[in-house]
């Protein structure tokens, strides 16, 4: 049991939690503050992930040199999505973003550019250089109760949490400002914002770019941490889990994505670890007609789905949301 809890605690602050947290910080800017229905956060994450892996593996770039690539490529992706759709009704953005994210995933999966993208296997040989950037104090990695964290993962976690801190402070400082006030007014009623002289299109575009770039760093951390940039990491469920995290933590709250991601990945890792323990054939075991080691991961998603449904019913404002604020009609 202590191993299970230990695993779960590590899950709450591990690579996936960080990556999804960053994606959720970006999505919170889009959806939580501006009301933009971006259903393609997986696409932004994919852009960020491949923007790191491709230059390192194909052209021998250093990790640090890929940072501008992450920023520029995801910003360009946001502009491409936003220019045709942000003047239209909000549902168009939803359709275009979900389609664009899928197109990107299929593009990197095609065998045609296998030399550059690695096709369905992805890019798996780019971490040697990153290994060399590990600072001395992490030479031993660290241990988290019963989980031993390797120096490499420890280093990615340090970088990841630094990014989470950086972007959270940035979002916090922006959202308390008059700039953030304009975003929130657009979320409430675009025409009201327009009637007061606000250039709604420009603000929505800036929001899409900002949240997209933050999401791209989430993808970058995921790829670096997994030592692999593969299309399977960026399926549409990436976007939907990110939404779940934003809702769980509280929509339009700075700490929402952090709390949401940690709780979400704690639950996932906990049930994973527990169900694995209960189906491994030693000690306590669930009867095999309920589940066995080959199918418990399905049950994990059923538990998570049921939990989210309960949350939405009993605490629609999320864990940190303001119930009063969420109770008003958006229309």
Partner 1 sequence: MSDDTVNPFEGLTPTPGVAKPEPILVADSVQRRFGGLVAVDVDHIEVQRNSITALIGPNGAGKTTFFNLLTNFDTANSGTWAFNGRPMQKVRPHQAARLGMVRTFQLTKSLSRLTVIENMRLGATGQKGENLLTAPFRFLWRDQEAEITSRAEALLERFKLDHMRDEFAGSLSGGQRKLLEMARALMVEPEMVMLDEPMAGVNPALKQSLLDHVKGLKAEGRTVLFVEHDMDMVHEISDWVVVMAEGRIIAEGPPEFIGGNQEVIDAYLGAHQNTDIGAIQ
Report in angstroms how near the CB of residue 174 gets to partner 1 at its nearest.
5
Segment interacting with partner 1 (CB under 8 A) among 42-50, 273-281, 300-308, 319-327: 319-327
Tokens in use for 142?
């660290």
Report in angstroms how near the CB of residue 168 gets to partner 1 at its nearest.
13
According to the binding rule CB under 8 A, does residue 84 interact with partner 1? Answer: no
Report in angstroms how near the CB of residue 324 gets to partner 1 at its nearest.
7
Report in angstroms how near the CB of residue 21 gets to partner 1 at its nearest.
21
Largest distance between two CA atoms of the chain: 68
Select 57 or 206, whichever has its Cβ closest to partner 1: 206
User: CA distances (Å), 79 to each of 33, 76, 86, 97, in order?
Assistant: 19, 5, 10, 12
Tokens in use for 251?
């929509």
Q: How many other CB atoms are found less than 10 A from the CB of residue 179?
A: 13
Select 6 or 326, whichever has its Cβ closest to partner 1: 326
According to the binding rule CB under 8 A, does residue 325 interact with partner 1? Answer: yes
According to the binding rule CB under 8 A, does residue 198 interact with partner 1? Answer: yes
Exposure letters 58-78 (e unless 16+ CB within 10 A, then b)? eeebebeebeebbbebbbebb
Find the binding residues for partner 1 in span 25-44 (CB under 8 A). none
Counting residues that bind partner 1 (by CB under 8 A) gives: 33
Q: How many other CB atoms are found less than 10 A from the CB of residue 21?
A: 30
Report in angstroms how near the CB of residue 213 gets to partner 1 at its nearest.
13
Among 196, 281, 283, 287, binds partner 1 (CB under 8 A): 196
Instruction: Could you list the beta-strand ranges (E) of the chain.
Output: 142-144, 147-149
Q: What are phi and psi of 69, to 5 degrees?
A: -65, -40
Report in angstroms how near the CB of residue 198 gets to partner 1 at its nearest.
6
Find the binding residues for partner 1 in span 135-194 (CB under 8 A). 170, 173-174, 176-182, 184-185, 187-189, 191-194
* Distance of alpha carbon 263 from alpha carbon 254, whole angstroms: 15
Exposure letters 300-319 (e unless 16+ CB within 10 A, then b)? beebbeebbeebeeeeebbb
Segment interacting with partner 1 (CB under 8 A) among 42-50, 124-132, 231-239, 320-328: 320-328
Segment interacting with partner 1 (CB under 8 A) among 43-51, 154-162, 198-206, 305-313: 198-206
CA angle 154, 155, 161 (to 5 degrees): 90
Residues forming contacts to partner 1 in the complex (CB under 8 A) are 170, 173-174, 176-182, 184-185, 187-189, 191-200, 206, 324-330
């Amino acid at each position: 049991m202590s191993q299970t809890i230990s695993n779960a605690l590590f899950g709450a602050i591990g690579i996936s939690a960080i990556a999804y947290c960053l994606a959720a910080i970006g999505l919170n800017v889009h959806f939580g503050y501006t009301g933009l229905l971006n259903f393609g956060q997986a696409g932004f994450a994919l852009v960020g992930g491949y923007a790191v892996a491709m230059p390192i593996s194909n052209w021998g770039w250093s990790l640090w040199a890929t940072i501008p690539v992450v920023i520029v490529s995801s910003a360009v992706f946001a502009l491409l999505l936003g220019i045709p759709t942000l003047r239209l009704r909000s549902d168009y953005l939803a359709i275009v973003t979900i389609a664009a994210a899928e197109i990107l995933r299929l593009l990197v999966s095609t065998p045609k550019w296998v030399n550059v993208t690695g096709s369905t296997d992805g890019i798996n040989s780019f971490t040697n250089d990153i290994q060399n950037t590990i600072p001395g104090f992490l030479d031993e990695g660290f241990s988290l109760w019963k989980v031993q964290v390797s120096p490499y993962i420890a280093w990615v976690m340090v970088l990841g949490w630094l990014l989470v801190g950086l972007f959270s402070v940035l979002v916090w400082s922006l959202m308390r400002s008059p700039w953030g006030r304009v975003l929130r007014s657009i979320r409430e009623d675009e025409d009201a914002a327009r009637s007061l002289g606000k250039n709604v299109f420009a603000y929505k575009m800036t929001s899409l770019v900002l949240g997209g770039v933050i999401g791209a760093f989430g993808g970058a951390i995921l790829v670096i941490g997994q030592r692999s940039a593969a299309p399977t990491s960026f399926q549409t469920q990436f976007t939907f889990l990110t939404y779940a995290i934003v809702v769980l933590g509280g929509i339009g709250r700075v700490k929402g994505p952090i709390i949401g991601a940690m709780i979400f990945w704690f639950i996932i890792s906990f049930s994973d670890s527990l169900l694995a323990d209960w189906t491994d054939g030693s000690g306590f075991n669930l009867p095999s007609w309920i589940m066995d080691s080959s199918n418990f991961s399905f049950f994990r998603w059923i538990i998570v789905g049921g939990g989210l449904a309960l949350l939405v019913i009993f605490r629609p404002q999320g864990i940190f949301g303001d119930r009063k604020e969420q109770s008003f009609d958006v229309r």
